[in-house]
């Protein structure tokens, strides 16, 4: 939930708008239930099949939290009911649903001190904390650069995210867990810590990722882009078991490719400018 206007008093800034904050509360509720399911899967007296079902439920609760997080901002902007209270409440909810929940999920599945991997017995807690720390830093930085107290020209463009959004980072981790549990590919669980560290780095990086805030019912697009979108949707529907992983990984790859292109373009402009000034 972004806020771009200034407020004249505390009452105006702390105003609680019902509809967008209901979605934010739903986000928090789903994150809380996801944490409970992870704990039950690890420590409750259940068989392996029930534990896997609990983990899958925890994953889907993170996805539902992401959907609620997306809707609260859109509803607030659509109805022009944005407030500083909503911004802070949204970040607190995101910290639980996309910070604590996925970190705890991976810790209990593979990074726990009682796990079979000796390396993770010693450093598993540190890997989980690094992800959690980067999620908190990412959310705090987002609140700062979207603050109405800062001049607009000093902030990041409103249609870009600086660093990988926390919901997308959690989505990458959760979708990988879903694939591993759905197809009994537990040998690949060893990659989860490295995925956590990668997404942690991307969250606090200076790479800009698209926010898609411009997309609405009146958005126009080119024919080639439209065909590509339909192709992606068809691929997702065909391989529906991997649909979540495809969506989140495509978003990350798109942001990285766009960043590389922008860097190349910037270097090219920097090289050409001295030449043009000499010719003049």
- Distances in Å between the Cα of 76 and the Cα atoms of 20, 81, 87 are 6, 5, 10
Taking residues 212-224, report their average pLDDT. 64
The reported pLDDT for the residue numbered 231 is: 73
Q: State the pLDDT confidence band at 135, using cuts at 50, 70 and 90.
A: very high
Percent of the chain that is helix, strand, coil (3-state, to 5) = 75, 0, 20
Helices 166-182 & 243-279, crossing angle to 10 degrees? 140
Q: Give the integer Cα–Cα distance in Å for 164 and 252.
A: 8
> Rg of the chain over CA atoms, in angstroms?
21
pLDDT of 33: 97
What pLDDT score does 91 carry? 92
262 vs 61, more confident: 61
Fold that domain 10-213 belongs to in CATH? 1.20.120
Query: Among the ranges 215-224, 253-262, 267-276, which has the highest mean pLDDT value?
Result: 253-262
Average pLDDT of the residues in 242-258: 88
**pLDDT 10s digits, 178-217:** 888 877 777 777 888 889 999 999 999 989 998 876 665 5
Please tell me which of 39-48, 94-103, 157-166, 259-268 the model is most confident about, judged by mean pLDDT. 94-103
Q: State the average pLDDT over residues 98-114.
A: 84
* Residue 39 to residue 58: CA distance in whole angstroms: 10
Per domain, the residue ranges of the chain are 10-213, 220-280
Element (H or E) spanning 229, and its range? helix 223-238
pLDDT number for residue 20: 83
pLDDT of residue 187: 75
């Amino acid at each position: 939930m972004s806020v771009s206007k200034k407020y004249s008093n505390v009452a105006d800034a702390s105003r609680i708008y019902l509809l967008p904050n209901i979605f934010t509360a739903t986000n928090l509720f789903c994150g809380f239930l996801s944490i409970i399911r992870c704990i039950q899967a690890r420590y409750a007296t259940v068989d392996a099949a029930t534990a896997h079902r609990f983990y899958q439920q925890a994953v889907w609760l993170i996805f539902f939290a992401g959907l609620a997080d997306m809707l609260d901002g859109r509803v607030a902007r659509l109805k022009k009911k944005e407030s500083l209270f909503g911004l802070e409440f949204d970040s607190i909810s995101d910290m639980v649903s996309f910070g604590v929940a996925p970190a705890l999920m991976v810790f209990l599945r593979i990074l726990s001190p009682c796990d079979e991997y000796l390396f993770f017995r010693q450093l598993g807690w540190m890997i989980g904390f690094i992800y959690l720390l980067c999620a908190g830093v990412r959310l705090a930085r987002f609140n700062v650069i979207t603050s109405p107290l800062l001049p607009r020209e000093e902030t990041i463009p409103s249609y870009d995210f600086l660093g990988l959004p926390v919901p997308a980072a959690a989505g990458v981790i959760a979708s990988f867990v879903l694939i591993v549990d759905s197809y009994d590919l537990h040998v690949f669980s060893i990659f989860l810590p490295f995925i956590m560290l990668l997404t942690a780095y991307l969250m606090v990086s200076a790479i800009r990722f698209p926010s898609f805030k411009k997309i609405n019912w009146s958005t126009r697009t080119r024919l080639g882009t439209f065909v590509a979108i339909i192709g992606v949707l068809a691929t997702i529907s065909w391989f529906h078991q991997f649909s979540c992983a495809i969506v989140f990984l495509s978003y990350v790859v798109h942001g990285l490719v766009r960043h590389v292109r922008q860097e190349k373009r910037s270097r090219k402009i920097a090289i050409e400018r001295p030449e043009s000034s000499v010719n003049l």
